[in-house]
């Protein structure tokens, strides 16, 4: 699964690791079927540990009772302490956010591709909305001319 952040500019993916993630068995099975949403996901660093929050992994349909999982729980990212320190320094210094770009299944293990990103300002958001509206109007005009 991939995510695109419409409200994020300047995504910096250079030299960023692909992290492991701590999951339950039913979460892995749901991921294999593609039942994951990264739309509002972000990572936080708390007490020297990286946690992925805002990821929704749908419950596995055959997991019941003890085997089931909470779809919106925080999940721990597996990173080296030096990487976590480096991320914390960049986040604090440049006011960036650590976001997941995609979830990858590699050699039977689930990995998360991370990036440092900076949110858009209000002006940037307004410009993006105006550009989107102009494109939509152009598409409408083209569609009406093709119907004639």
Place 3 in a pLDDT band, splitting at 50, 70 and 90. Answer: low
Question: Cα torsion for 83, 84, 90, 95, to the nearest 10°?
Answer: 150
Place 46 in a pLDDT band, splitting at 50, 70 and 90. Answer: very high
Q: Please provide residue 127's backbone torsions phi and psi, each rounded to the nearest 5 degrees.
A: -65, -45
pTM of the model: 0.71
Has residue 50 got a pLDDT over 80?
Answer: yes
What value does the mean pLDDT take over residues 73-97?
90
């Amino acid at each position: 699964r991939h995510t695109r952040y419409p409200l994020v500019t300047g995504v910096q993916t250079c030299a960023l690791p692909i992290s492991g993630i701590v999951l339950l068995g039913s979460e892995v099975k749901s991921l294999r079927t593609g039942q994951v949403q990264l739309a509002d996901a972000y990572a936080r660093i708390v007490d020297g540990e990286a946690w992925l929050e805002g990821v929704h992994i749908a419950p596995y349909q055959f997991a019941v009772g003890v085997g089931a999982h909470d779809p919106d729980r925080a999940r721990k990212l597996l990173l080296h302490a030096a990487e976590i320190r480096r991320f914390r320094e960049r986040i604090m210094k440049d006011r960036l956010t650590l976001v997941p770009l995609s979830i990858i299944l590699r050699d039977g293990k689930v990995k998360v591709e991370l990036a440092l990103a900076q949110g858009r300002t209000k002006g940037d958001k307004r410009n993006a909305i105006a550009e989107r509206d102009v494109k939509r109007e152009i598409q409408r005009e083209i569609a009406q001319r093709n119907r004639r």
